[in-house]
Amino acid sequence: MSDMGTPSKALRKDALGVGAITFMVVSAAAPLTGAGGGIPPSMLLGNGAGIAGAFAIVTLILLAFSVGYVAMARHVKNAGAFYAFTAQGLGGHLGGGAAMVAILSYNAMQIGLLGLLGAVASGTFAGFGLELPWYVWSYIAIALVAVLGYRQVDLSAKVLVVLVALEFLIVVALNAVILVKGGAAGLNAVPFQPSQIFSGTYSIAFLFCFAGFIGFEATTIYSEEARNPSVTVPKATYLAVLAIGIFYTITAWLMTMGIGVDNLMPTLQGLPDPSAFLFILADTYLGATASMIMGVLFMTSIFAAVLAFHNAVARYKFVAGREGILPDRVGTTHAQHLSPHIGSIIQTVLALAVVSLFVAQGLDPVFNLFVWLTQLGTLGLLGLMALTSFAVIAYFSRDAQGESALSTKILPAISGLIMAALFAKIFMDFGALTGAAGNLSWILPGLTIVALVIGIALAAMLKGRDPGRFADLGKNKL
């Protein structure tokens, strides 16, 4: 613990404003990682030039989800976010299930990104003459994140603000030059035509788009550490969705314009690795030096996302411990830093174990560790968004508390049904989408169901030994 005092059950109050929370969650969406590592393969495997239009549609869907989510956040202020909303809307048993699915999902996203980070760092440093295996860089990242996650949250926020600002700037610079030069063959709106958006395998394109937003929902995780959370959290949520959505939509459009609609697919099909596409554009429009800088920022972008997911999952574990679903010890904060340090330590140990397992099995850091686990995380979080949408409807059906039917019934119903359909689609097609063959094609997505059942069982055990504590699951902590 600490010799500075005794452990607490409270997080650090008034530590984060709108800007800090927005940067914390936008960094989880990893703007440069999405532009370089997400958009090109979504074009290649999905709907080609139509990906820009798909991002615009997904932005609207997530804004619809956010209306109910923000309405709930005004009345339930708890760092448990999805778990707390589900518990308050659909009951403690499903709340316990949501907590464990969230812990699984954020763990999967964070640990999966460590594989991509190791591979990118290995290639980046090799360019400077330092050649080391990918897992060395992954272990270094785990150590750095362990220190930042253990300490107070505003330290992580300061690191993320710098990294996210730099990655935004380099992509915005590329976008600006393509825009000014008029692209390869003039600017047009072809990527936003329905015939383009719904061409190719557009279902894969939409799934990639949703994956690009994962992390925006974490605004409410920081509600107990926010200044004036009733105002700060809703503003940060809308800002995060709009920032990510507008950035990806414009970037995908200008990446297409930069090469030309007709040349897009032939160019991507001719690349050994589609993530090289953004760097080809950077080299063409900004020059070799800028392209090299982008490579370094690509690496730090992934690190920022790893740190953001670490902070998120540590807080979910803290809340689950504080409220009795996990052991009480997990629900204490550091006496000095007021950080969820036990959850942070558990996350660090898990990351070490899973990365080491993949190393021992000789599996690929990108096609196995990154793709398998981040798609598992996306699957779980889509399921949680569906549950949360239905929880909003149930919660406000008992007492509208001054909220409109649009924000508590209509939009949550629309977004909830869309999220549920996407969850079912990814679950059934998991093997085809990720390349997980044989038993892994159902074992990996099946982990979300296992986590849900374990969470329900843990909540039932809590009800049996402490009915009063069970009844308080997900209630306000402010």
**pLDDT bracket for residue 6 (50, 70, 90):** very low
Average pLDDT over residues 349-375: 92
Q: Report yes or no on 158 lying in a domain.
A: yes
Q: Report yes or no on 280 lying in a domain.
A: yes
Average pLDDT over residues 360-372: 90
Domains in the chain, number: 1
Q: Report yes or no on 91 lying in a domain.
A: no
Q: Report yes or no on 144 lying in a domain.
A: yes
d(Cα 197, Cα 206) in Å, to the nearest integer? 9
Domain range enclosing 123: 18-80+107-363
301 or 79, greater pLDDT: 301
What's the whole-number average pLDDT of the chain?
86
Q: How many CB atoms lie within 10 A of CB 188?
A: 15
pLDDT exceeds cutoff 70 at 107: yes
- Give the max Cα distance, the chain: 69
Q: What is the dihedral of CA 420, 423, 424, 428, to 10 degrees?
A: 180
Q: Report yes or no on 27 lying in a domain.
A: yes
Share of the chain above pLDDT 70, in %: 87
Average pLDDT over residues 301-328: 84
Average pLDDT over residues 215-224: 71
Is the Cβ–Cβ distance between 105 and 312 less than 8 Å? Answer: no
Residue 27: closest CA among 348, 419, 343, 310: 310
pLDDT exceeds cutoff 70 at 154: no
d(Cα 343, Cα 350) in Å, to the nearest integer? 11
Predicted confidence at residue 283, as pLDDT, reads 92
pLDDT exceeds cutoff 70 at 11: no
Average pLDDT over residues 79-93: 88
pLDDT exceeds cutoff 60 at 5: no
**pLDDT bracket for residue 49 (50, 70, 90):** very high
Average pLDDT over residues 439-462: 96
Predicted confidence at residue 385, as pLDDT, reads 93
CATH number at residue 240: 1.20.1740.10
**pLDDT bracket for residue 477 (50, 70, 90):** low
Q: Report yes or no on 165 lying in a domain.
A: yes
Question: Could you write out the DSSP letters of every residue in 20-70?
Answer: HHHHHHHHHH-HHHIIIIIHHHHIIIIIGGGHHHHHHHHHHHHHHHHHHHH
Residue 89: closest CA among 448, 401, 327: 401
**Helices in 260-287 by DSSP H: which ranges?**
261-269, 276-285
Is the Cβ–Cβ distance between 109 and 374 less than 8 Å? Answer: yes
Q: Report yes or no on 349 lying in a domain.
A: yes
d(Cα 146, Cα 104) in Å, to the nearest integer? 18
Q: Report yes or no on 404 lying in a domain.
A: no
